[in-house]
Amino acid sequence: MDKKVVAVLFGGQSSEHEISKMSAATIMAALDEEKYFILPIYITKEGRWFLYDGPRDNIKNLSWEKFATPAILSPDTSHGGILRLVGDKFKIMPIDVIFPVLHGKNGEDGTIQGLFELAGIPYVGCGVLASAAAMDKAFANQIARKLGIKQADWLEFSKSEIDKDIEAVAKRIRYKIGYPCFVKPANTGSSVGISKAKNKKELINALYEAAKHDKKIVVEKSITGRELECAVIGNDEPMASGVGEIVVTAHEFYSYEAKYNCNTTKTLVSADILAEAKSKVQEISLQIYKALGCAGLSRVDFFLTPEGEVFFNEINTMPGFTQISMYPMLWSPEGITTSQLVEKLIEYAMTVAKNG
């Protein structure tokens, strides 16, 4: 049987560039090379595309420029693949399926999914609308509110509002949300640009920091509780995993530093919570997944208060696949290895393409 050609896209023009490299290394190591021919496509922070032909061990460090040649994904459906520069001419390399291991802007927000749609090539993960809606925290919050799902009180502001009159913005937050509160760029992941503010000075600094990363900012009331996560996989009939927990001890919240640079942060693949809370987390995960029109995969994050209330936090349509990422870990108690998980995701991508 002929091998399927899988293009693994990674890097990208987002603040989660480095996480993407680590995730891609995990996914490529998990792909069965007896079944798949892998085309690693690296997108630089500046937006240049390269096909990598060298040893896979170098991918995390990207010390491999001599192995890379320019290659771009063609939106022309007659090409059905990438155009690789050979000498002074482009050579067409057909692709069966794309695995976009891209986190954040220009990778997880529907933009690159639009390119895949134009090219007519199947791809892993959510479509254009679901990716864009889930990536925008304010929009996802509005969907959750419409569904009657519990969430923290929140407000949204534009960067122009903050630049024009930050004092008025801070005053509104103080009266509508109060302290402490979380200030987030609406369209980033991995907790990039997120701050916790306990007073006006910290709030002002947090608003300016968030505005560096996005033109829309979300401010949420701080919820005291445990941080839970649930993985979802599938298309029309998705399945929810068990419920995991993030235990943060050295930081105030699950920040970028706590996620990737702190040895004391713990990830528990089976949270010690009541069956009722677990069931509620799984129910809401599937509810928000379906409401947004997700496909393939997503990870849904929650807070569990001491009173036993479950609050929706956010949904991530291309969660991390690093060595410490919760999404693949949550499937291990179900007996699903990372290799099996990656294969399932490719199968779901092909199913979406087949069914139109």
**Closest alpha carbon to 133 in 300, 17, 293:** 293
Q: What is the DSSP letter of 58?
A: G
Whether residue 61 contacts residue 29, with contact meaning beta carbons closer than 8 Å, is answered with no
The tokens describing 130, both together, are: 């679901």
The tokens describing 21, both together, are: 């490299």
* Chain CA centroid to CA 327, Å: 10
**Closest alpha carbon to 141 in 127, 155, 125, 159:** 155
Bridge partners (DSSP) of residue 99 are 8
Q: What is the pLDDT of residue 262?
A: 45
Tens of pLDDT along 250-272?
A: 445 544 454 444 465 688 999 99
Residue reference for tokens 């990422």 = 325
Domains of the chain: 4-123 (3.40.50.20), 133-150+224-355 (3.30.470.20), 154-221 (3.30.1490.20)
Give 310's Cβ-side CA count (13 Å radius). 25
Residue 117 predicted with pLDDT over 60: yes
The alpha carbons of the chain give a radius of gyration, in whole angstroms, of 21
Tens of pLDDT along 135-170?
A: 999 999 999 999 999 999 999 999 999 999 999 999
What pTM value is reported for the model?
A: 0.90
